[in-house]
Structure 1
């Protein structure tokens, strides 16, 4: 089996919340994609409830595209402690963190139910499993803790 970078990460050594560049890949035509570890919850100490992380996912999918160019995808980790963020190019870590902070601030302070995209049977595979209330609470907590620019030290919080 191939090595997967996230399975080689020492999850006991990281200090969430943080954003970490996992790496970049260059395609056959020279296009570069970047893969970020967006860790909102300390691994093995907690997790965002499914309905809350589902709502954060739907909202960040749209909010990040409004704030940062080149977003390909943002997908939650199965462990529910954060997300993979995939982008075209090599955005600066500070720009990624800034876009995430702005998106989370909107979720925590301004969002209403009608702001959540894709919450019907046609546009979501599990449309009944959303919670804006939980998404707001977790977004506020993450912002309160601060998002570090380093996975192993609290930097730029």
Structure 2
């Protein structure tokens, strides 16, 4: 296959083994700042996916709570294929820090009693949320914590 501009389009999705966390790439700015982008894969590509209300709530919970554990989170955004999230961090190349932030954030999800910004003023589709679904995803992911560093089958 020809090399594509998007890193994940060059990844052989048939050879990965979810769940995992992998460094996707590093983007360096003009002044030397670096953004480290990670692939947090939760579901096995082309075999399973997250349902939208659960994914949406997990996005809200992770985006809000991750910043309590790391002050240089740039973004946490879901993949369109509904199998995971991208996490972008500024000027921190420590893989162990990323794993720690993800673990602490997922623990926060389990302890949550509501989805942050789950209303029509703060969310573009407030009717599409599931705290229970997000907590189920977080629990499943935490139960497989020892697998996060193993990307390929």
**TM-score, length-normalised on structure 1?**
0.90
Alignment equivalent of 1:73, drawn from 68, 72, 75: 75
Which residue matches 2:45? Answer: 43
Determine if contact 1:93/1:149 at 8 Å carries over to the other structure: no
Deviation at 1:150, TM superposition (A): 3.4
Deviations 1:103-140 (A, max 9, x none): 112212x1102xx2111111111111000011111111
Q: Given the alignment of the two structures, is residue 123 of structure 1 paired with residue 125 of structure 2, yes or no?
A: no
Quick one: distance in 2 between partners of 1:137 and 1:29?
41
Which residue matches 1:140? Answer: 139
Which residue matches 2:98? Answer: 96
Quick one: distance in 1 between partners of 2:108 and 2:94?
22
Alignment equivalent of 2:65, drawn from 63, 66, 71: 63
Instruction: Show structure 2 runs of 5+ residues with no match.
Output: none
Deviation at 1:7, TM superposition (A): 0.5
Deviation at 1:2, TM superposition (A): 5.7
Q: 4+ residue stretches of structure 1 with deviation over 2 A?
A: none
Deviations 1:2-44 (A, max 9, x none): 6111100011111111110011011112111111111111111
**Local SS of the residue matching 1:66:** coil
Which residue matches 1:23? Answer: 25
Quick one: distance in 2 between partners of 1:111 and 1:47?
23
Aligned length: 150
**TM-score, length-normalised on structure 2?**
0.92
Quick one: distance in 1 between partners of 2:23 and 2:91?
12
Quick one: distance in 2 between partners of 1:73 and 1:55?
15
CA RMSD of aligned residues (A): 1.5
